[in-house]
Each structure stands twice: as structure tokens, then as C-alpha cells.
């Protein structure tokens, strides 16, 4: 697949994806900066460009493009459109376990590309990998818009990002923003 010269940082900045404040991230860690990458998916012409760039990170074909959450299903849909694949998304059940619902299926032997917006701790990605393996699927890899993990992800499949943007994160019990009595920011 041809290489795409998409300037993802400029697109994210132009569309207000960088939020400054005091955030409690889904991982429970705190950060002064939040990246709302999936917000750019509200612009279909941009979503198409981002999807092409994400897809180009993997040359192997994929039968299914899997979003690890409903919130990232638009990204999965657009990458699936580029690749001519099926798009599905996973959800958390009442026991906080990632599952497929809504008649989504992964058949044994099908190849799956996992697509997400931002990689931080890898917990969601690891759950998606386990889900695919549970159904007997073969994982092509993981494609993300932004890798915030600072290279600390310990996953067993290739992860490729459009951009790496490490952020300083703090455990909630040792957060300088909390110690400075900066209130948590409500975010999207």
C-alpha cells in the first residue's frame, strides 16, 4: 500500500483534539493533557484520510476491522471501507468483560485488524486481542491514531500508530496536579 503523508498532529490541533487541564484518564492515571483523537471522525472527509493512513500501516489483508469499543466504531467503519472488510465493535458486559454483541461474529481463522483512537496503557487493546483469540481469529495487528504509551505497551502483536505523542501521566495517589489542588477537568 502506498505511503500517506498525512500530518495527523496538525489535523488534531486544528480540530481541537488537544485539551489542557487536569484529567483522570480511563486508566485511572492523571494527566495535564488529554487527546480526543476520535473527535476528528465527525468530519467524513478527514475520517477517510485518517482511515487510509491507518490502513496503510499494514500490508496484510484483514477480513474484519475490530473497534474495541462503540466509541471507536466510526474509525473501524472507515478503515473497513478502505480495506473492503467487515467492521465490528466490542462492548463491555455487566462484568466489565469485552464481548461481541449485536450479532457481530468473528469466525475461526478470520484475520482481524484492531483499530483504536489512542493507545495509553494497552488494557483495552489486550482485551481486544483476547477476544479475537477466544473466537479463533488471527490478529493482523493494531492500528491507532495516536500512541501515547511512550513505548511501554507489552502486547504480542504489531502496534502501528500514525503518530507517537508521549504524555506525562501520574498515578492518582502521586499527582502533582492534585497536590497543587487543581480540580479535575470535565472532558468529553
What domains, with CATH codes, occur in the chain?
A: 8-179 (3.40.50.2020)
pLDDT interval class at 168 (50, 70, 90):
confident
Global pTM value: 0.86
From the list 85, 43, 97, 92, the residue with the least C-alpha distance to 71 is 92
> Which CA distances in Å does 93 have to 97, 98, 99, 151?
5, 6, 7, 29
Per-residue pLDDT tens for 16-71? 888 889 998 877 889 998 888 888 888 989 999 999 999 999 999 999 999 999 98
Number of Cβ atoms within 10 Å of the Cβ of 86: 18
C-alpha gyration radius of the chain:
17
Maximum C-alpha span of the chain: 52
Please give the share of the chain, as a percent, with pLDDT higher than 70: 94
User: What average pLDDT does range 82-95 have in this prediction?
Assistant: 92
pLDDT at 79: 96
Distance of CA 151 to the CA centre of its chain: 15
Per-residue pLDDT tens for 4-14? 456 888 898 89
- CA 174/CA 68 separation, integer angstroms: 29
Amino acid at each position: 500500500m502506498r505511503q500517506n503523508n498525512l500530518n495527523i498532529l496538525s489535523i488534531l490541533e486544528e480540530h481541537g483534539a488537544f485539551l489542557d487541564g487536569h484529567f483522570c484518564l480511563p486508566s485511572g492515571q492523571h494527566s495535564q493533557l488529554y487527546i480526543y483523537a476520535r473527535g476528528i471522525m465527525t468530519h467524513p472527509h478527514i475520517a477517510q484520510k485518517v482511515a487510509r493512513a491507518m490502513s496503510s500501516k499494514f500490508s496484510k489483508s484483514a477480513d474484519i476491522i475490530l473497534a474495541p469499543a462503540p466509541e471507536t466504531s466510526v474509525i473501524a467503519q472507515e478503515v473497513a471501507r478502505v480495506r473492503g472488510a467487515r467492521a465490528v465493535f466490542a462492548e463491555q458486559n455487566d462484568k466489565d468483560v469485552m464481548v461481541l454483541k449485536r450479532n457481530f461474529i468473528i469466525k475461526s481463522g478470520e484475520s482481524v485488524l484492531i483499530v483504536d483512537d489512542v493507545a495509553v496503557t494497552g488494557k483495552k487493546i489486550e482485551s481486544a486481542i483476547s477476544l479475537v483469540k477466544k473466537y479463533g481469529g488471527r490478529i493482523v495487528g493494531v492500528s491507532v491514531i495516536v500512541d501515547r504509551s511512550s513505548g511501554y505497551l507489552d502486547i504480542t502483536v504489531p502496534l502501528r500508530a500514525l503518530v507517537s505523542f508521549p504524555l506525562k501521566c501520574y498515578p492518582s495517589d502521586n499527582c502533582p496536579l492534585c497536590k497543587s489542588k487543581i480540580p479535575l477537568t470535565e472532558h468529553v
